[in-house]
Structure 1
Amino acid sequence: MTVHDTSGSPGRLATFFATDDDWEREGSITLGDWLVGAIVLVASLATLELIRGVGTLDSSDAPTWVEWLAVVSGAALLVFRRRFPLTVALLAGAHMFVAGVWLPMVMGLLPMQIIYFVAFFAGAAWARRRRDMVVVMGLITLFMFAWIAWQYAVGSGLDEIRESTADTEGSSLIGPVSAYVLLTTVVNLLYFAGAIVGGQVAWRGARQKAELAEQAATIAAQSGQLQRRAVIDERLRIARELHDVVAHHVAVVGVQAAAGRKLLERGRPGDIEGAAEALGNVEASAREGVTQMRSLLGTLRDPAGDAEAGAEGVRRPEPRLEDLPALLDGARESGLWVDYQAVGPVEDLPVPLAHSVYRIVQEALANVRRHSTADRAQVVLRVDRATAAPYAEVEITDNGRPRHGTSGSGLGLLGVRERAAIRKAEVDIGPRAVQGFRVRVRFPIETEVPA
C-alpha cells in the first residue's frame, strides 16, 4: 500500500497563503490614501514630462492628453487599493496590458511600474478572502507571462530584440537574444513574485497583530473578571468577619444583660455588685465589638492602612493566637466554663491560619452561648508537623443540648465551612454521639495560602 505525503509543495503553499483562514482584514479609504495617490500622480506626471523633454517620447503617436489620462487613471488606483484590493489589482493588470500595447513608453515609466507593483502588493496584502486572492493574483501573473510569451512567439518582440542587439557580440555561452529573453523573464518573475509574496507577508503580520490584540483584549477581560471576583471574595471575607464579631459580642452582651437583670430582680444583698459587674462586662464587650467593627470597616476606607487601632477607630491587626486567651476569658465571664489545651508547636502557625483558627473558635463559642444549654466547653488546638501530611486542627466541643427557640441563620457555620474550603481543610460539624456539639476543622499546613 502506498502512502501519499500531503505535506508537499501544494500543501506548503496553501499553508503559506493561509487559504483556510477565515480572518478578514478590514480596509478603508483614509486621508493617507488620497495623499499617496496625489504624491504618486505628481511624481508620475513630472517624470513623464521630463522624459518628453529629452525626446524619448518622440516616437509615440498618442496625444499628450491620452498619456496624461493613462498616468492619472493609474495613480487613482492607489487611492482604493485597501478598500477594494482585488478589484484594484485586476484593474492594474488591465491598465498595464492596455498601456503596454498602445503606450509602451508610458507603461515603462518608473512611477508607473511602482503603481502596478503597489497595486499587486495591496491585492495580496488586503484581500478579504485568501482563496480569492490566490486565484485572482495567479490569473494576473499567468496572463502577464502569457502576454510576454505571445510578444516573443507571435508579436514583434524578437525582431525588436534582434535589431537592438545587432551590433552586440554577446557571450560565448548564450546569445544576446536568448540572454535578453531570459533576463526579461527573470525580472518579471521577481516583480510579480515579490509583489505577491511581500503582500502575503504583510497580511500575515497584520493577522498576527490582530491575534495579539485579541489576546490582549481577552487578558484584559479576564483581568477584569478576576478583579471583580477578588472584590466579591473580599466582601464575603468582611461579611464573615463582621458576622463573627457581631455574633460573639452580641451573645456576650445578651448573656451578661440577662444575668444583670435577674440579679436586680432578686434584690438580695450583694446582687447590686454582681449586676454592676455584669453591666461592666456588657460595656466592655460592646466596646470591643465596636472597635473590631471599626477595624474591619477601616479596610474598606483605607485598604493600605496597617496602623493599630484604639478607641479612635483606626485599623489594628487582625486577631491572632495571642488574642485567644482574651477571647476565652470573655466566654468564661459570660458564665461558660471553657477549658483550653494546646498540643504541639502552635506558636509557629502562620498568621493567616492563626486568624482563621481564632475566628472559628469565636464563632463556635458564640453558638454555644446562644443555641445550647451547655455550661462547659473545651477548645483543643493541635499542631503536628512530624507526619507525612503536617496539619493544624482546632476542635471545640460542649456538653449541652440544643436550646429551643434559638435557631440561627446558619451563616456562622457557613462561614466556618468557607474558611475551611479556602484552605482545603477537613470539616466535621454536628452533634456528638454522647452529648453536646462538636466543631472540628483540620488545616493542611503545607497548602497554606494567603488570607
Structure 2
Amino acid sequence: MMQLTAPVQAQAGSHSGARVESETRAWLRRRPAGVLPDALFAIAIAVFAQINLVFQLDNSTPYGPMPAVAASTLVATAVLALRRVTPLATAVIVAVAIAGPMLVTPLTVTLWGDMLPILVATYSVARHSERARAVIGVAAIVTAVVVVFLRNPESGTVGNLPFVGVPVAVCLVAGRVLRARARSQSDDRARAQQLEAEREEAIGAALAEERARIARELHDIVAHCVSVMVVQAGAAEDLLDRDPQQARAPLQSIQDTGRQAVGELRRMLGLLRGERARLALKPQPGTADLADLVDHMAEIGLPVELTVEGSARPLPPGVDLTVYRIVQEALTNALKHAAPTTAHVVLHYDDQSVRVSVRDTGPTGGSGGAGANRVGHGLIGMHERVGLYGGTLETAAAPGAGFTVTARLPLQAAQR
C-alpha cells in the first residue's frame, strides 16, 4: 500500500535537495489541481498503450498471456499520475510492473506501455528527488531494463541496448540539470528575501533612530521656549502693578519666543511628515549660533559670557548641533532652576575633540535643592546626544553655589 508523506519544512543547514522536494510537495498540496495534468497525461498514455496492444494482437501473436500484458502496461502507465508527488515510488512501481511478470514468463514489450513509462519515470525521479532517492529510482529502472533484455526474445542481442540506454541516460541528465537549476533559483529567491528582510530591518532601525533624534530635538525646543516664557510671564506679572509700561518688554519676549517655538515645531513636524521638499527650512543651529543664543538669554534675564579657546573650525553637522543643544539645555536649566544667576560658556577646540563647558553661579541647595532638581529629562537627553558620538558628559554642583555641565566630543568618531 503506497503512503503519501507530508512535506517537511527544510531547516537551516539541511540538504538543499530535500528542501526542493519539500517545496514541490508543499506546492502540490496547496494546489491539488497541479496533479491534474499528470493524471490526464497518464490516462492518455494508458489508453494509447491498450490500443497499441489491440493492434499488435491483430497483426501478430504477442508474447505471454494477453491479460498479463494488459495489466502490466496499465499499472506502468497509470502510476505516472503520481510522478511528481511520489517520484521514487513511481519509478519503483514502473520497474516492478514491467520486469516483475518477465521473471515468470516473457511478455511483449511495447513503446507506449513499457518504453515511455520507463523514460518518464527516469526523468521524474531525477527531477523531483534528492540524490540518494534518485539513485535508488534509477537503479530500479536499469534493473527492469536488464531483466527485459534477458527475458524477452524480441529484445534481440545486447547490441540493441543503446537504443534504450541512451534515451534513459538523456532523461536522467535532463532531470538532474533542471533540478539543479530549480535549486539555484530557489536559493537565489531565498537570498533575495533575506536581503530584503535585512534591508527592511535596517530601514526600521534607521527610522527608530531618526524618531528618537527628532524627539530629543522637540524636547530641547519645547523645554527651552516654555522655560523662557514662564520666566518672562513671571517678570511681566511683577511689573504689571508697579510699571505697566515696562511689562511690555517681557510680554513681547513671550510672543517672540512663542513664535520661535511654533516655527521650530512646524519645521520638525515637517521632517516627520516628509515635507522637506515643500518647506523652505533653515539649517539646524550650531556653534555659529551660540552668540545669538547668548544674546537672547541675556535679553530674558540670564547674563551669559561666551569664551572660545583654540582655533575655531567647522565641525561635523551632528557634533555642531549637539554642542548647541547642550549649551541651550544647560542655560535653560540655569534660568529655570538657579535664577537669579549668571553663566559662563567655554568652547574649547583642539586637534582631537571639541569641549564645551557651561557653568552658572546660582544656588544649588544641596541634595534637595535646585541642583537635584536639574537631574531630569534634560540631562538624560544630553547624555544620549554625547553618547551617540562617543563623547563624555560630566555634571557637578559646587558647594553653596554653581552648577557645571562639561561635554567632550571626539571629532574622529563623529567623522566615521
Could you say which TM-score interval applies, normalised by the shorter chain? 0.7 to 0.9
Pair 1:23-2:19 in alignment: yes
Q: 1 CA distance for matches of 2:121 and 2:41?
A: 15
- Are 1:225 and 2:201 an aligned pair? yes
CA contact under 8 A between 1:51 and 1:57: conserved in structure 2? no
Question: Which SS does the other structure have where 1:446 is aligned?
Answer: helix
CA RMSD, Structure 1 to Structure 2 (Å): 3.8
Name the residue aligned to 2:264: 292
Match in the other structure for 1:116: 118
Give 3-state SS (helix, strand or coil) of 1:286's partner.
helix
Query: In the superposition, relative to structure 1, how do residues 221 and 355 fare at CA in structure 2: closer, same or farther (>3 Å)?
Result: same
**Structure 1: which amino acid aligns with 2:126?**
A
Aligned to 2:8: none
Distance 1:61 1:190 in 2: 25
Q: How many residues align?
A: 391
- 1:87 and 2:64 are equivalent in the alignment: no
Please report how far the alpha carbon of residue 401 of structure 1 lies from its aligned counterpart in structure 2 after TM superposition. 3.1
Shift of 1:240: 0.7
Q: Deviation of residue 88 (structure 1)?
A: 0.7
Q: CA deviation at 1:54?
A: 9.6
Tell whether the 8 Å contact from 2:394 to 2:405 is kept in structure 1 after alignment: yes
Does the 8 Å CA contact 1:37/1:75 hold for their aligned counterparts? no
Instruction: Show structure 2 runs of 5+ residues with no match.
Output: 1-13
Out of 398, 413, 416, the residue aligned to residue 382 of structure 2 is: 416
Offset from partner CA, 1:219-254 (integer Å, 9 cap, x none):
333333333323322221221111101111111112
- Whether the 8 Å CA contact 1:380–1:395 is kept in 2: the answer is yes
Q: Distance in 2 between matches of 1:222 and 1:437?
A: 46
Letter paired with 2:21: R
- Structure 1 distance, partners of 2:321, 2:74, is 80
Which of 18, 31, 37 matches 1:35? 37
CA distance in 1, matches of 2:187, 2:175: 18
Q: What's the offset of the Cα at 1:392?
A: 2.6
Q: Distance in 1 between matches of 2:343 and 2:139?
A: 91
TM-score with structure 1 setting the length: 0.72
Counterpart Cα distance in 1 of 2:246 and 2:272: 40
Structure 1 residues 423 and 220, CA gap change in structure 2 (3 angstroms):
same
Give the Cα–Cα distance (whole angstroms) in 1 for the partners of residues 282 and 37 of structure 2.
66
TM-score by length of 2: 0.77
CA distance, structure 1, for counterparts of residue 375 and residue 79 of structure 2: 76
Where does residue 397 of structure 1 map in the other structure? 359
Q: Deviations over 1:125-154 (max 9, x none)?
A: 323x654554x32651563366268x2xxx
Structure 1 residues 367-421: Cα deviation after superposition (integer angstroms, max 9, x where no partner): 111122562212222333xx3xx32332222223325368257211111121122
**Aligned residue for 2:3?**
none
Distance 1:77 1:44, change over 3 A: closer
Are positions 1:251 and 2:227 aligned together? yes
Q: % of aligned pairs identical?
A: 26
Q: Find 1:340's aligned residue among 306, 328, 345.
A: 306
Q: Do 1:253 and 1:282's aligned partners in 2 also have CA atoms closer than 8 Å?
A: yes
Distance 1:71 1:143, change over 3 A: closer
The amino acid of 1:144's aligned partner reads A
Whether the 8 Å contact between 2:49 and 2:73 is mirrored in structure 1 is: no
Separation in structure 2 between the aligned mates of residue 436 and residue 348 of structure 1, nearest angstrom: 31
Q: CA deviation at 1:119?
A: 1.3
Residue of structure 2 equivalent to 1:318: 284
Partner Cα distance (2:238, 2:49) in 1: 112
The one-letter code of the counterpart of 1:238 is I
* Cα separation, 1, equivalents of 2:159 and 2:56: 30
Give the structure 2 partner of residue 276 of structure 1.
248
Structure 2 counterpart of 1:237, one-letter code:
R
Choose the corresponding residue for 2:109, options 89, 100, 105: 105
* Distance in 1 separating the partners of 2:296 and 2:139: 91
Q: Tell me, yes or no, if the aligned pair for 1:81 and 1:119 is still in contact at 8 Å.
A: yes
Specify the alignment match of 2:217 in structure 1: 241
Residues 102, 441 of structure 1: alpha-carbon distance in 2 compared, 3 angstrom cutoff: farther
CA contact (8 A) 1:82 1:126 kept: yes
Distance (Å, rounded) in 2 between the aligned partners of 1:156 and 1:215: 52
Query: 2: CA distance between counterparts of 1:145 and 1:433?
Result: 102
Q: What runs of 5+ residues in structure 1 fail to find an aligned partner? A: 1-17, 162-179, 309-314
Deviation at 1:281, TM superposition (A): 1.4
- Alignment CA distance shift 1:341-1:290 (3 Å): same
The CA deviation at 1:160 is 7.8
Q: What do the CA deviations read for 1:157-215 (whole angstroms, capped 9, x no partner)? A: 6x985xxxxxxxxxxxxxxxxxx53662x666555555455444444444443333333
